[in-house]
Amino acid sequence: MHDDFGRLLARVEHLRDGVLSPQDARVWPREWLASLEALGIVEAAGFADEIVLDGGDHECFAPNLGFEKHPDDPDRLICVHRCMNGCGRVILEPRDFEQWRFSMLGLAEAVRCAIGASGRVVEDAPGRIVLIGTASVAGQVGDVFLGFGLARPDAAGVAASATRLVASDGPALLSVGVKPGDIWSVGKRPMTAVLAEHARLGTEGLDLDLAKVFPASGLVEVKPDAWITVTAAAELLLADVSGIDLNKAKARVSKAAGERRFRTNGKEGRDRRIDRDSFSTWRLAQRERDNDAWERRHS
């Protein structure tokens, strides 16, 4: 099952329009695809216009001509294909034409549940990078992202356009099925891993041990400075809290620093510096409050 799920994730990186064709779907058992659909990782995408028939020494395409009742079984729908290449009369059913679409957000939600990340799934770069949530790994609190198509020629531009990823303090990124290329800006290189190499589909859902994916050496390849300015902290807060600008974010950070909500160097004004790790914990709480407010507004 582990290898099957890994192969699926590697395969979806190369799907046209993210659609698993009937030919793709035949590789996996139907009950297994049903499990993926229940988790939201794939979703039904209607019927294909044509399928490739298995067997034979030639490639035979069967068009979807619509379905009719079987003459001997009115509860059974069929599509009759009359092959001119030697296959003869072939009776097909709706399930032979079923196809599924890969859901980036659905996979992100399944991963969020598997690792126990807090917060809600948020799309950062449409269809390509998603914020899964915040998780604690090896004693550090950091944002975890899911990336798709990160070996494509446009991946560097996609990564640069992902504002939450760029602003995140020490992010970790799971690439769906391929190892990302050299796409990261200097100083903004998250620790990365290929999800297909670590996740498996269990009886209760997705199984993924984030502590094994990202070892105790930390979430980022280059550890950032331990102390940051109020402005830098405010810029990080902007990625998590809606409805505020930089000045309001700076005022909120300064107020929290004065109330000792996180560790500082004890100085005031321009000389104030904030401990990055304790600030991340406070920032997580602010994100949770903002998420709760969003849920109330939309419930």
Token pair belonging to 226: 């331990």
Most confident of 29-33, 84-88, 194-198: 194-198
Q: pLDDT by residue (tens digit) across 188-242?
A: 678 889 999 899 888 778 899 888 888 755 433 333 456 889 998 888 887 777 7
Residue 187 confidence class, pLDDT cut points 50, 70, 90 = low
Q: Can you give the pTM of this predicted structure?
A: 0.64
Which pLDDT does position 223 carry in this prediction? 39
Contacts of 45 (CB under 8 A, 6+ apart): 19, 20, 99, 100, 101
Of residues 118 and 287, which shows the higher confidence score? 118
Q: pLDDT by residue (tens digit) across 269-292?
A: 888 888 877 787 788 778 777 767
Which pLDDT does position 127 carry in this prediction? 92
Which pLDDT does position 137 carry in this prediction? 64
Which pLDDT does position 138 carry in this prediction? 58
Which pLDDT does position 3 carry in this prediction? 58
The whole-number average pLDDT for the span 264-273 is 85
The whole-number average pLDDT for the span 107-133 is 93
Q: pLDDT by residue (tens digit) across 124-173?
A: 999 999 999 998 765 577 899 999 999 888 898 999 899 999 888 878 99
Q: Which residue has the tokens 């799309």?
A: 123
- What is the β-pairing status of strands 140-147 and 172-175? parallel
E strands present in 84-223: 88-92, 98-102, 122-125, 129-137, 140-147, 172-175, 191-194, 200-202, 205-207
Q: Average pLDDT, whole number, for the chain?
A: 81
Cβ pair 155, 181 in contact under 8 A: yes
Which pLDDT does position 222 carry in this prediction? 35
Q: Which alpha helices (DSSP H) does 116-194 contain, by range? A: 155-161, 163-167
Contacts of 1 (CB under 8 A, 6+ apart): 32, 200, 201, 202
Which pLDDT does position 8 carry in this prediction? 85
Using the CB atoms, write b or e for 45-84: b if 16+ within 10 Å: bebbeebebeeeeeebebebeebeeeeeeeeeebbebeee
Provide φ and ψ at 99, rounded to 5°: -140, 160
Q: What's the CA gap between 238 and 65, in Å, rounded?
A: 54
% of the chain residues with pLDDT over 70: 87
CA distances 156 to 101, 142, 181, 230, Å, are 25, 22, 8, 29
Strands in 122-125's sheet, in edge-to-edge order, are 122-125, 129-137, 140-147, 172-175, 191-194
- Burial degree of 270 (CB within 10 A; 0-12, 13-18, 19+): exposed
